[in-house]
Amino acid sequence: MWSLGGGVSEEEKLNRTQVRSVLRRSWSMARPFKKTINTAIFFVIISVLCVLAGPILVRVGIDKGIEPGNTSALNFAVVCYVVVTIIAYGAGRAQYMYLNKAGESFLRVLRIRVFDRLIHQSMSYYDREKAGVLVARMTADIEAMAELVQWGLLQFVGSFFLLALAMVVLAVLSWQLTLVALIVLPILVVASVKFQRDSNRAYLDVRERVGVNMSSLQEGITGVRVIQAYAREEEQIRRFSESNRALYRSHMKSVRVSTWYFGLVEFAGIAAAALIVGVGGWLVHRDVVSLGTVVAFVLLLANLFDPVQQLSQLYNTLQSAGAALLKLYGILDSEPEIHEVPEAQSLPHVGELEVRDVSFSYVGADRLALDHVSVVVHHGERLALVGPTGAGKSTLAKLMARLYDPTDGSVFFGGVDLRQATMSSLRRQIVVVPQEGFLFDGTIADNIRIAQPDAADDDIRAALQQLGVWDRFMAFPDGLHMQVRERGSRLSAGERQLVALSRAALVDPAVLVLDEATSNLDPGTEREVEAALDVLMRGRSVVVVAHRLSTVRRADRIAVVDDGKIVELGAHDELVAQGGHYFELVTNWQQSITTTAVSREPQNILHGDDGK
C-alpha cells in the first residue's frame, strides 16, 4: 500500500501566523547546523542536475551522433552519461547523509531542550498537564518529526528543485512542446489537491481504528482472567473481530484513495508522453524541433510529474510535523514558576523555618488550599501536620520546601525568603523525603549519589553507617553495585525507602520534610526504616505529614490542618485535653484499629503513656 504520510485534524492545522512562527524558530534552532544544511542542499542540486543532464545527453547523442553518423560525438555523449551517472550516485549518497545528519542533529537538540524544560518545570505545571500527554510529546510528536527527517525532507527538497529546474529545461528545449506537456498539468494539480484532502481523512480514520483495535486487544489480554472465569471468550473474540474488520475496511478505503490518484498520475504521464510524441513528430517533420529534443522531452516528463506526486504525498507529513513542532515549542515557551531570581542568596546552615500568612490555590481550583496560614518550626523541632484528607497538610509541607510558591505570604528559613534563595542552597538545606522512595535504573550507589553527584564512596558509606543500614545493603551479592532495575523493582518497598533516607543523610540538610515515610511498609521492614528515620531526624528540624499516631508521638508539636487553616497547634497531651479537632482525629484513628494488641497503643497515647 502506498504511504499516505501523516494526517492532521482540523484543530491541528496551522494558520499562516503559526507556520511563520514555526519556520522562524526551526531555522533559529537549526542555525548551528547551517554548514551541514548548505552542503546537503549543494548535493541535492548536483543530484538534480545529474538527473536532468541524462535526457539532455541523450538528445546530444541522437542529434549530434546517431542522425549525422558521427561516432565520436556519440561516444562522447555515452562517456558523459556514464560520468554523470557516477556523479549522481555519489551526490545521491552525500545528499542523503548530510540531510539526515542535519535533521537528526535538529531532533537531538530539540529532544534535549524539551526534556530540559520538562525537568525544570515546577510541580504546578504537572498539576495542569497530564503525564501521558507529555510523554506523547516526546514520543509521537518527535516520531512525526523523525518521519519527515528520515525521508520526507530529502524528497521535499529534491522534488522542489527537480520540478523547478525541469520546467526551465523544458522551456529552453522547446516552448511549443512545453505548452503541450502542460495541458495535463491542471488535471494533475486538481487531483493532487483532492488526494491531499481525501488521504488526510483516510489516515485519520485509520489512526482512530488502530487505537480502537489496540484498546480491544489490550482489554482482552489484561482481562483474560475475568473473561475465562465467566466463559466470555467467544464474546471477546467477536468484539475484537468487529474492531479488526473496521480497521480492515479503513485500510482498504485508504488503498482506494491511493489507487485512483496514482493511477491518474500514471495515466496523465502516459497521455502527456503520447501528446509529445504526436505533436513532436509533427514538429520534427517541419524542422521546428529535432528528434533528440522529442526523445529528451519524453524522458523529462517523469521529472515533471513525479515531483508533483511526491509533494502531494508529503503535504500531510509536513502538516503533521508542523503541528508536532508547534506543540513542542509550546513546552519550550512555558516558563518554570519556581526559578532562581537574580542575585539570589544562600540559605544559612541553621535557622527557623517560618510560614508567614501564607495563602495558596492550585491552578483551576475554585477555593484556597491554604488560607492565611502561619507557623514557625524552631531549629531542631519536630512538627507533625495532621488533619483529614484534602485539608491542606501536604500542600503546606510542599510550600515549606518550595515545591510551590505561595499565592500570598512568604516562607522563610533563617530570615531569608525562600524565593530569594539560590536553588542549590535551598535543595541542600531543605530536603523532601516522599512517601515512596523512587529509584532510577542503575546501581544502589548511583541512586544514593543522586542527592550529591560528586559524593565519594566513603561519603556514601558514612551515610549508610550513620543510619545503621550499611550491613543490610552489603549483604546483597553485588553490594552497593547491585542493579536495582527500573523503579527499583529488585528491592522491597522498605529497601527503597532506606535508599531514599540515605540520600537525605548524604546531603545532611537543616530541615527534613517527610510525608510519613513508613506508612506503606510491612511491619518487619517498618521497624528498620523507623530506626533509620529516628537517626536521620536527630539534630535537625523536621516537618512530617502524619497519618498515624505512632508518627505523631515523635513530634514536639502538632499542627491540626482543616479546610486550609491551622485550627489547633500544640503538644499531644495539650491538644487531647482540649477535646477539639485533634481529639476527634485520635478517636477516629483508635476506632480504625481492629486488633486488640494494636488498639491498646492509642489508648495509652491518649493518656500520655508511651505504652512501654
Q: Is the pLDDT of residue 608 over 60?
A: no
Residue 609: pLDDT band by 50, 70, 90 thresholds? very low
% of the chain beyond a pLDDT of 70: 92
Q: 175 or 489: whose pLDDT is higher?
A: 175
Count helices and strands in the chain by DSSP H and E runs: 23, 10
Q: What's the pLDDT score for residue 420?
A: 92
Residue 343: pLDDT band by 50, 70, 90 thresholds? confident
AA letter at 263: G
Q: Which residues contact 356 (CB under 8 A, 6 or more apart)?
A: 374, 409, 410, 411, 412
* CA distance linking residue 495 with residue 475, whole number of Å: 12
Phi and psi at 251, nearest 5°, equal: -65, -40
Residue 177's closest CA among 281, 317, 32, 321?
A: 281
Q: 516 or 88: whose pLDDT is higher?
A: 88
Q: What's the pLDDT score for residue 593?
A: 57
Q: What's the pLDDT score for residue 153?
A: 74
Q: Is the pLDDT of residue 601 over 50?
A: no
Give per-residue pLDDT as tens, 243-295: 889 889 888 888 888 888 888 888 888 888 888 899 988 999 888 888 989 99
Give per-residue pLDDT as tens, 353-371: 999 999 999 877 888 989 9
Q: What's the pLDDT score for residue 413?
A: 92
Residue 519: pLDDT band by 50, 70, 90 thresholds? low
3-class secondary structure, 541: strand
Q: What's the pLDDT score for residue 353?
A: 92
Q: What's the pLDDT score for residue 377?
A: 92
Picking from 200-209, 412-421, 597-606, which range would have the lowest pLDDT averaged per residue? 597-606
* CA distance linking residue 529 with residue 532, whole number of Å: 5
Give per-residue pLDDT as tens, 295-332: 998 888 877 777 777 777 677 677 777 777 888 888 88
Q: Are 338 and 403 in contact (CB under 8 A)?
A: yes
Rounded average pLDDT over 508-521 = 75
Instruction: Return mean pLDDT, the chain.
Output: 83
> What is the reported pTM?
0.73
Q: 474 or 307: whose pLDDT is higher?
A: 474
Q: What's the pLDDT score for residue 610?
A: 40
Q: What's the pLDDT score for residue 383?
A: 92
Give per-residue pLDDT as tens, 19-33: 788 888 888 888 888
* CA distance linking residue 215 with residue 243, whole number of Å: 10
Residue 472: pLDDT band by 50, 70, 90 thresholds? confident
Q: 196 or 447: whose pLDDT is higher?
A: 447
Estimate the crossing angle of helix 523-537 against helix 493-507, to 10 degrees: 10
Q: What's the pLDDT score for residue 8?
A: 58
Give per-residue pLDDT as tens, 76-89: 999 999 999 999 99
- Domains of the chain, earliest start first: 16-333 (1.20.1560.10), 353-570 (3.40.50.300)
Rounded average pLDDT over 99-109 = 87
Residue 531 is placed in which grid cell?
530506626
Picking from 314-323, 423-432, 528-537, which range would have the lowest pLDDT averaged per residue? 314-323
Q: 46 or 121: whose pLDDT is higher?
A: 46
Q: Is the pLDDT of residue 98 over 50?
A: yes
Q: What's the pLDDT score for residue 9?
A: 60
Q: Is the pLDDT of residue 190 over 50?
A: yes
The full DSSP string for 543-600 is EEE--SHHHHTT-SEEEEEETTEEEEEE-HHHHHHHTSHHHHHHHHHHHH--SHHHHH
Rounded average pLDDT over 386-396 = 87
Q: Is the pLDDT of residue 1 over 80?
A: no
